């Protein structure tokens, strides 16, 4: 897939940005709090999709849904600062069932990166997302990378995908359509307007890199209600 094709595919994904802006302009939620917006009626309101990438036990008392983007620097900071602690203390201990869904902030780039991640075996999905976050400066245009296509091919090669296979993954239209569906649901259901945003048992947390002590206290408060 050429660089031009990468950006043509991006047009499929980036269409959602127009819908996001329109929705947030005309349909702002009537009530918000400094910590969270209630989007449902607790854990039962959370929908787990068949094609979700997840970690932990589906029977955990808390579902934590993260809307993030591979090209989002704030998401990378959250990954660096908190993801390991969240996994060790809550996911691996059966307290949290974690879901990651892409909410594109850069349609062409995020769509292509997610396409590669989805071509890998399920068990390799999160290690590759972690790889992308930790190496953003090597492939993310926000860091001045001009050959994004070649840079993503290089990341795919590290994960074991040959360039031609990586190209097919980046060009996957079904992947782009799935991203769009999930992003539209993120806007209509949760009023997502930034990344990363966590939804904990139906409650939308403030967008951004929530400091670990704050996130831990929030999770513990939810657990105390169970």
Q: CA 214, CA 8: separation in Å to the nearest integer? A: 40
Q: Is the bond preceding 196 in cis, omega lying within 30 degrees of 0?
A: yes
Q: CA 51, CA 92: separation in Å to the nearest integer? A: 21
Q: 88-145 pLDDT, tens per residue?
A: 999 999 999 999 999 999 988 999 999 999 999 999 999 999 999 999 999 999 999 9
* pTM, two decimal places: 0.85
Q: In total, how many domains does the chain have?
A: 1
CATH number of the structural domain spanning residue 15: 3.40.30.10
Q: 54-83 pLDDT, tens per residue?
A: 999 999 999 999 999 999 999 999 999 999
The position carrying tokens 């203390």 is: 89
Domain range enclosing 95: 3-224
């Amino acid at each position: 897939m050429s660089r031009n094709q990468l950006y043509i595919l991006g047009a499929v994904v980036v269409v959602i940005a127009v819908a996001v802006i329109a929705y947030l302009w005309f349909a702002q939620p009537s009530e918000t709090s400094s910590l969270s917006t209630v989007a449902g009626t607790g854990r039962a309101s959370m929908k787990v999709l068949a094609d979700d990438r997840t970690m932990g036990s589906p029977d955990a008392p808390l579902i934590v849904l993260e809307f993030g983007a591979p090209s989002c620097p704030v998401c990378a900071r959250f990954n660096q600062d908190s993801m390991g602690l969240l996994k060790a203390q809550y996911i691996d201990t059966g307290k949290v069932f974690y879901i990651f869904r892409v909410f594109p902030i850069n349609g062409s780039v995020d769509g292509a990166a997610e396409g590669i991640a989805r071509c890998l075996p399920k068990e390799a999905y999160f290690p590759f997302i972690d790889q992308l976050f930790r190496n953003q400066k090597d492939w993310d245009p926000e860091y001045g990378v001009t050959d994004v296509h070649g840079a993503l091919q290089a990341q795919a090669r590290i994960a074991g995908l040959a360039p031609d296979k990586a190209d097919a993954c980046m060009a996957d239209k079904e992947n782009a359509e799935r991203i769009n569906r999930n992003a539209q649901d993120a806007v209509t259901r949760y009023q997502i307007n930034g990344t990363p945003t966590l939804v904990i048992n139906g409650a939308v947390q403030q967008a951004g890199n929530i400091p670990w002590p704050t996130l831990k206290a929030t999770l513990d408060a939810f657990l105390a209600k169970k």
